[in-house]
Structures are given as C-alpha cells and as structure tokens.
Amino acid sequence: MSHLPRLTFAIISHPDAGKTTITEKLLLFGGAIQAAGLVKAKHGGRGTVSDFMQMEKERGVSISTSVMGFDFAGRKVNLLDTPGHADFSEDTYRTLTAVDSALMVIDSVKGVEERTRKLCEICRMRRTPIITFLNKLDREGKDPFEVLDEVERELNLQVTPLSWPIGQGQAFKGVYNLLEDNILLFDAHATDLEAKMIDGKDLDSAEVKGHIAEHLLTKLKEDLAMIRGVYPTLNQADYLKGTISPVLFGSALNNFGVRELLNALAKYAPSAGAFATEQRLIQPDEPTLSGFIFKIHANLDPKHRDRIAFMRICSGVFEKNKLYTHPRTGKTYRTATPLAFMAQSREATDKAYPGDIIGLHDTGLFRIGDAITEGERLDFKGIPAFSPQLFRRILNKDPLKSKQFNRALTELSEEGVIQVFTTYYSKERLIGAVGVLQFDVTQFRLTSEYGASCSFEGVDFNIACWVSSPNKEAWDRFFGFYENKIALDSKERFVFLATNRWTLERTMEDHPQIHFAFTSEG
Ligand code: GDP
C-alpha cells in the first residue's frame, strides 16, 4: 500500500510529570509546529463546573489537540491526547484501547506515581508496548537506578536503558547513549534545538574530560558496568509483547533528549496492529474497512450541538461518501465530512488508514465500542467499562421532567460520560465514575442540554465488579446472600457493589465459584 506506516500512541503519566511539555516538544521536533507554546495550557483548570463550562468554550481548541498528527522518519505519527488532570475520566482509559503503543513519562524527582500506576495497568492488561522517558533530569532527583527499580517492582515491567544520565540537577552534564556510545551534552542555557554530541567510546579522551568532571566520569564508568551487568539488551520482540520497556532520559523543558525519544519511537514502536473481536482477529492489511468508536465528544460547536465520535481504523481504508454498515443497528452509515486530525487543526480527510483516528459527525447513532464495517458483524473486544471508583446515588429533582432525566442518563452513559447502575431490588439509580469531574459534567449537562435537574447523595460503595458464574446453585446462593448489593449496568449485566477492598476480598474468598471481573470484559 502506498500510505505511510502509522505510529499511533498515547502518553501516560501522572499530572505534572511533563506530558504537555513533551507533547509540545515532540510536535516541535517532529516539525508539526514551529514554536513551543501552542499546545493548550492545561493549568488553571482544576476541575470545577465553571472549568467545565470554560472547557466547553475551548472545545474547539481541545478537540484539535485530541489527536495530533504529523509525519516523521517515514511514518505518520498519531499522538492521542489523554485527559490528564482533574478532567481525568474513563476517556483516558478508553483512549488507551485505540493506540498501538504508549509513551510513559516519569518525573525523575518523584518516581512512579499513582496515576501512572493505573494507566500502566491498563497497558499491561492489553499488552501495549511501552517506551519510558525519565524527565526533569535538570532537577535534583532520585537515583536513576532507584527509579528503574520502582518501575520494575511497582509496575511489574522489566526495563532496559537506552541512555544513561551523567550527573543530575545542577551537575547534570548530559546523557550517554548506550547503543551508540556517544555523549549528548546538556547545556541549560542553550538556545538551539540541537545539543552537542561527542564521542564516548573512550571516556578518558581529552574531549570527554574537557566537558565532564573527573568524579562524574568515575561514577559514569561504574554505572555503565552495572547497567551492562544488570539489564538485558533490548529485545524488540519482548518490547512488542509489552514485557520490557526501553528507557531514555532527558529534560523536556530544555528540549533535551526529545529528538532521541522521537527517534526511538520511530525506530521501535509498532505500526497498526491486529485487533480482537468476539468473532475473529482483525488484521490491519485486510482489504475491507473496520473500526470502532472509542470516544464521543458532545456539543463541540454550541451553534450546532452535534457530537463527534472518534473512530480508530483497524483495517481497510475509510473513504468519504462510501456506504458503510453500523452493525449494532444494521443501519447504513455514510459521511461526506470525516475529520482527520493534524496538529493544531482539524482537516477534512478523503481517506484514512489503519492506525488513523477520524472524527465522525454523529447525530446520536454511536455508542462507545460500536463498530463500522462493510457489512460484517464485529464486536470489538477490549473497549470495556472500567470498574468505577466513585459512586453517587442520583435523584431526579423534578418529577415532571422524569422523561428528560431518564433520557439524559441513557445518553450520557452511551457517550461514556458516566456509568449508570440500577440496584436490583430497590431500583435506585447509581452513577459511577473514575474521576470526580464526571459527576459535575453530568449535572451540568443534565440541566443545560436536557432541561432536567438532579441531586446526588453519597453511598457506601467504593468498588463495583462484574459478577457471573456458570454454576447456578452457587449463583443463587450468592445472589440470595447479597441481594441488596447487586445492581445491573446499562447493558443489564450483574454488578456486585462492595464497600471496600477488604469486604470484596472476603466475599471473593467465601464464593470461589463466582467470577469477579474489574472490567466489563474481564
Ligand atoms: P503535565 O501536567 O504532565 O502535562 O506536565 P507539564 O508539561 O504541564 O509540566 C509540569 C511542570 O513541570 C511545568 O511547570 C513544566 O514547565 C515543568 N517541566 C516539564 N518538563 C520539565 C523538565 O524537564 N525540567 C523541569 N525542571 N521542569 C519541567
């Protein structure tokens, strides 16, 4: 095929590790933007309803940064933005179902943090290959060996460094490239994008000594001996299986190490891969089109109040004006204006290939997880609902608007804004989320779009998991015992609600024949 191979990835990190900075610098080094400072500022917005309204206004901007596309080293790069701050929500998780690899950014001062842990877990579950970037080496941080130990221990991910820092903080002198045996020199005052590189094969050479102090060289020699003894060399197959992560070091703020990072992504990261469906495995080189919806954005343009569904192309070629099938409803689907995402703009596209993300105008047809095909029935796996961590009881405050209230809950749950559960016996509505802003957004949209109103009450549940059992007797016993802790999700699947992890574990021990799953797919 004549199109460039795709490199479709997302960045996973904890807030403040440097995701926005790195995104911007990747675009800069990728030639997609001419100057830094263009990627939307994410600071200031800290998760209140007014921020959400502000977000709505800025949607025109944020949508264009949802997927950033540019060409680099013979590949078309699609960098998918993952909501990272207070707007953290299931969207972040779902975005990871649409990529072929991930870039994990870790703050070298803070090490492995909570959000990284969660996102890495999703990648591990899906065996997504991960390249790691240890950022902020210009600050006094933890010992790099210690951070890598944390990654291996806490994220259960083997690592292999491709570069190694020389000094840190004030004394940060650069990184040693372990594959090419050269040294990239750090200069905090440099204004060029290109750092100076010197040969590092002989660490006693006059050139090396001219740039790096004796004690740092001694330490580097010790480190290199240790690295070569401790870490395996990079095996591409293991990286692609998601069991080993190549690691690079740098300082995104100072443009340092970013080109090397982009080169490593272009060299190692997989192009569009196969996708599992209930029916069969879809290969990217199949001639017929298939793709799935992983995210829906509502009300992008306040004048039109439309929705945009984001589709990941898995096989075939998407063409505008061609007639496709929406297998869930059996309807046909055609669009004259699919959107492709290039950095800083949305552009209309004529054709899109496996690995690409396109935006489809939606008048209410799509739900998260829906497929588009050329007629075949496909149910994509791995676009699950994730076990929510926050719950509220939602009450309809205006009985005259119960129709609007119910419609809002159905549609917001289809869009993936929240998960809706109905308790089995008392028929109460509970909503579940992974980020607290999801509740604010629900309330805001319920009022502004549906004319309904709601209030929330706290509930005593913190964990939901999907339960099933092939053993009817065991199931009946379990059900009888916990009838007031069972609810149905929007697809009428049984969910067990637990107060905390301890009670959940006790329940699991007491009922070994019941299967407990933490995603709706488990
Ligand atoms: P995000 O929350 O992960 O998107 O992180 P940002 O990119 O917004 O960065 C958080 C803060 O860390 C900002 O103040 C950045 O300027 C700063 N920062 C990012 N990269 C570096 C770096 O390499 N060195 C230092 N010292 N600060 C950095």
pLDDT per position as a tens digit, 377-389 = 999 886 666 778 8
Q: Do 115 and 14 touch, CB atoms closer than 8 A?
A: yes
More confident residue, 344 or 405: 405
Residue 59 has pLDDT above 70, yes or no: no
AA identity, residue 386: F
What is the secondary structure of 186-252 as a DSSP string? P-TT--SSSPPEEE-S-TTSHHHHHHS-HHHHHHHHHHHHHHHHHSPPP-HHHHHHTSEEEEEE-BG
pLDDT per position as a tens digit, 295-324 = 887 754 555 566 788 999 999 999 989 999
460 is in an annotated binding site: no
What's this model's pTM, rounded to 2 decimal places? Answer: 0.83
Go through the domains of the chain in sequence order and give each one's CATH number. Answer: 6-73+80-268 (3.40.50.300), 275-373 (3.40.50.300), 387-521 (3.30.70.3280)
Q: How far does the centroid of ligand 1 lie from the alpha carbon of residue 433, in Å?
A: 28
Residue 108 has what pLDDT? 96
The phi and psi torsions of 333 (rounded to 5 degrees) equal -140, 135
**Given ligand 1 and candidates 81, 253, 260, 261, which is best to mutate, with the most ligand atoms within 8 Å of its CB?**
253
Residue 50 has what pLDDT? 47
Supply the ipTM of this predicted assembly.
Answer: 0.99
Ligand 1 in contact with 107 (CB < 6 A)?
no
More confident residue, 53 or 191: 191
Question: Residue with the nearest Cα to atom 22 of ligand 1?
Answer: 136
Question: Residue with the nearest Cα to atom 16 of ligand 1?
Answer: 253
Q: How far does the centroid of ligand 1 lie from the alpha carbon of residue 135, in Å?
A: 8
Ligand 1 in contact with 251 (CB < 6 A)?
yes
Question: Residue with the nearest Cα to atom 21 of ligand 1?
Answer: 253
Question: Residue with the nearest Cα to atom 28 of ligand 1?
Answer: 253
| Residue 16 Cα: closest atom of ligand 1 | 2
18 is in an annotated binding site: yes
Ligand 1 in contact with 270 (CB < 6 A)?
no
AA identity, residue 96: L
pLDDT per position as a tens digit, 255-272 = 999 999 999 999 999 999
Question: Residue with the nearest Cα to atom 17 of ligand 1?
Answer: 18
| Token pair listed for 324 | 């496709």
> Which are the contacts of 502, defined by CB distance < 8 A and separation ≥ 6?
none
